[in-house]
Structure 1
Amino acid sequence: MQGTSEEIALIVAAGTLLMLLILAFLMTFFFLHQRRHHRQKRELLRMTEAYQRELLQSQIEIQEQTLQHIAQEIHDNVGQVLSLAKMNLNALTIGPPNANTERILVTKGLVGKAINDLRDLSKTLNADYILHTRLPEAIRFELDILERTAADLRTFLVIRGKEYRLSPQHQVIVFRIVQELINNCLKHAHATQLTVALSYTDELFTLSLADNGQGFDLAQVDANRSYERGSGLHHIKARAALIGAQAQFSTQPGGGTSVLLQVPIPNSLET
């Protein structure tokens, strides 16, 4: 009888110990799960905050770049047109009614062109300009500025597929990347031709930019990001990653440069 009691007590003790071990395991698992969950939430919050900061930075840079373009356009284009109009007006002479007809018509045309140019420029002063403008239209504006800045450079814009709007966040990032690439071409490439191609499919938006400039050693630039160009390329790739995109560079000394940006597209699209 005593042996039976001892066996029962031993079984109860073993069962109790087993339950305690299971309970300790469950509590440990729950604790680790909660800690991992909180860590993931903190990481997600950090990534979201970083994304929002980068998006805001991109918007600020777009506005700064746009203001620089507007100032340059007013100085180089609108100012020149108005100066020609002023010269024509100063050259008007007193004489028969038809003596100045041709000069007056030319002056009217110049003033009309200046008005249209200023109207176009005023649209870009809107803080949400890039959000409400078609991406090809915004890129064409940048390319037009580039051609007027570098007289020996010709630019081309190619569109393939049925155009649709990217999300506002994607459009801001993509447009800022295009601005950076165009600036790099102007500063470093010494190219005479630049082609930007936009390709629209249901699954993928692709943007390619190719110039016939002097190119560079990509391996050397990647190895030393302290170079201005190396830091710029790294920044472009980092920005592309924010929207789940990939940026690929292909270049060699004397062989021009091409950049391919591929942006995955979600199921819902804004046409």
Structure 2
Amino acid sequence: MKTAEKPVRRRRRLPRIFLNFHFWLLVLLFTGGFLLQYPQLIPFIDILDPDSFLSLTRHSFGRLIMLLPVTYAALVFGMRVGLLALLVAVAIIVPNIFIGEVTSYPDEIIEVVGIIIIGLVVNLWLESYETDKKHRQVAYLRLENAQRELQRMQQNLRFYLKQITIAQEEERRRIAQELHDETAQDLIAISRKIDGFMSLHPALASSDEAYLEDMHQHVNRTLSGVRRFSQDLRPSVLDDLGLIPAIDWLVPELAKHYKLKIGLQVNGEQRRFAPEVELVLFRIVQESLRNIGKHAMASRAVVTVDFTPEITVVTIRDNGRGFHPPDRIGDLAVSGKLGLTGMQERAQLIGARLAIKSNPGEGTTVTVEVPTTTEQPEHSY
């Protein structure tokens, strides 16, 4: 059954050759070269100069013309067909040496050998070109695959970073809630019990009263620290009221903690963002102000929020000592500035663009640009 199918397939392939435009053009080129080799077959060829074609003899010109179908066959069909075309060309040229009027056989033979050599060189060159072309295509495909794989890995990495960030914030929310609902409430209960004990025993010795008062103050300080730590982990004002009130709460807290003058400026019509966007912007402002307080040696900082119809820009600027930022923000991790690198990663998660501008002695400016597509218009301040 299989042996019977092979002749059928071959018969089906044969008509396809005759439907190929390049095949008929190749036949036309060979026909033209054949007629130039045997001009006696053309009745009106006598009107042409039989001695010179572009400073070549007619026979030499005809032989050079035979390189056209050879080159075309190699270019279109490949080296095998090109070599076959070269054999056909030689078969057309060689008989003309012996049946034509030839004055010098060595010159004619040298021309034929030259034509063969040129035909071989053309075939080899085109084959090398096609091989190089295929290699370039393979290399290009590999490069494209590598780029797609890199993009896929980057997308996966961003997805994992996003999931890690979400899990981190959820854990912060849980701990903050526990500190507020359990630890803080227990400390309040202890403080009230100390107050109640002192009220029920007004005749305590002065040393005992001083001891209880010191314990009461210590509990209150611990309670304040727990509340501050809870707010720092996840400020409830951010979830309840939004970004601007949360920054408004954050600024005096950090100004008091780091003994800085920190200003807040809000320009334009205020609007709400998606919760994850507000959280990222708040963390960037928080991390920037902390870096200023810890490392910048600044005396003043300003947080500016500009609302425009196209974008919202958050800028944190200080008058500290500054530094030489690298060309790419991602290189900050190499120099140990992991906080700035984390800010960049957070900004990318929400589709924002973060820029850092700094010079030694001129302070540092951190800018975050958020497109309007990340806004949540159904809420308003």
For normalisation by structure 2, the TM-score amounts to: 0.45
Give structure 2 stretches of 5+ with no counterpart. Answer: 1-29, 36-65, 79-125, 202-219
> Pick from 309, 312, 315: which aligns with 1:205?
312
Aligned to 1:245: 353
1:49 aligns with 2:156: yes
Aligned to 2:369: 263
Aligned to 1:134: 242
SS of residue paired to 2:295: helix
For 2:293 and 2:277, how far apart are their aligned partners in 1?
Answer: 24
Aligned to 1:188: 295
Displacement of 1:177 after TM fit? 2.2
Displacement of 1:199 after TM fit? 1.3
User: In structure 2, do the counterparts of structure 1 residues 34 and 78 end up closer, same or farther at CA, with 3 Å as the change threshold?
Assistant: same
Displacement of 1:19 after TM fit? 1.6
User: In structure 2, do the counterparts of structure 1 residues 73 and 147 end up closer, same or farther at CA, with 3 Å as the change threshold?
Assistant: farther
User: In structure 2, do the counterparts of structure 1 residues 181 and 140 end up closer, same or farther at CA, with 3 Å as the change threshold?
Assistant: same
Displacement of 1:245 after TM fit? 1.0
Contact 2:235–2:246, Cα closer than 8 Å, also in 1: no
Q: Tell me which protein shows more helix as a share of its residues.
A: 2
1:218 aligns with 2:323: yes
Contact 1:206–1:260, Cα closer than 8 Å, also in 2: no
Aligned to 1:19: 76
Displacement of 1:160 after TM fit? 1.7
Paired amino acid for 1:200: F
Tell me how many residue pairs correspond in the alignment. 238
Give structure 1 stretches of 5+ with no counterpart. Answer: 95-109
Per mean C-alpha deviation after superposition, the further-off stretch among 171-180 and 55-64 is 55-64
For 2:157 and 2:312, how far apart are their aligned partners in 1?
Answer: 24
Deviations 1:97-137, CA, capped at 9 Å, x for gaps: xxxxxxxxxxxxx9xxx9xx79x96x9499xx978862224
Paired amino acid for 2:371: I
Taking CA–CA contacts closer than 8 Å with sequence separation of 6 or more, which of the two structures ends up with the larger relative contact order?
Answer: 1
User: In structure 2, do the counterparts of structure 1 residues 159 and 5 end up closer, same or farther at CA, with 3 Å as the change threshold?
Assistant: closer
User: In structure 2, do the counterparts of structure 1 residues 125 and 269 end up closer, same or farther at CA, with 3 Å as the change threshold?
Assistant: closer
1:178 aligns with 2:235: no
Per mean C-alpha deviation after superposition, the further-off stretch among 76-85 and 261-270 is 76-85
For 1:252 and 1:72, how far apart are their aligned partners in 2?
Answer: 41
Deviations 1:184-236, CA, capped at 9 Å, x for gaps: 23323466654322111122221122346xx22413x76996664x4544554
Contact 1:248–1:261, Cα closer than 8 Å, also in 2: yes
Per mean C-alpha deviation after superposition, the further-off stretch among 172-181 and 139-148 is 139-148
User: In structure 2, do the counterparts of structure 1 residues 36 and 133 end up closer, same or farther at CA, with 3 Å as the change threshold?
Assistant: farther
Contact 2:353–2:370, Cα closer than 8 Å, also in 1: yes
SS of residue paired to 1:164: coil
User: In structure 2, do the counterparts of structure 1 residues 131 and 74 end up closer, same or farther at CA, with 3 Å as the change threshold?
Assistant: closer
SS of residue paired to 2:312: strand
Paired amino acid for 1:47: Q
1:162 aligns with 2:269: yes
Percent identical among aligned pairs is 17
User: In structure 2, do the counterparts of structure 1 residues 130 and 57 end up closer, same or farther at CA, with 3 Å as the change threshold?
Assistant: farther
Deviations 1:154-200, CA, capped at 9 Å, x for gaps: 65433222233445665454333223213223323466654322111
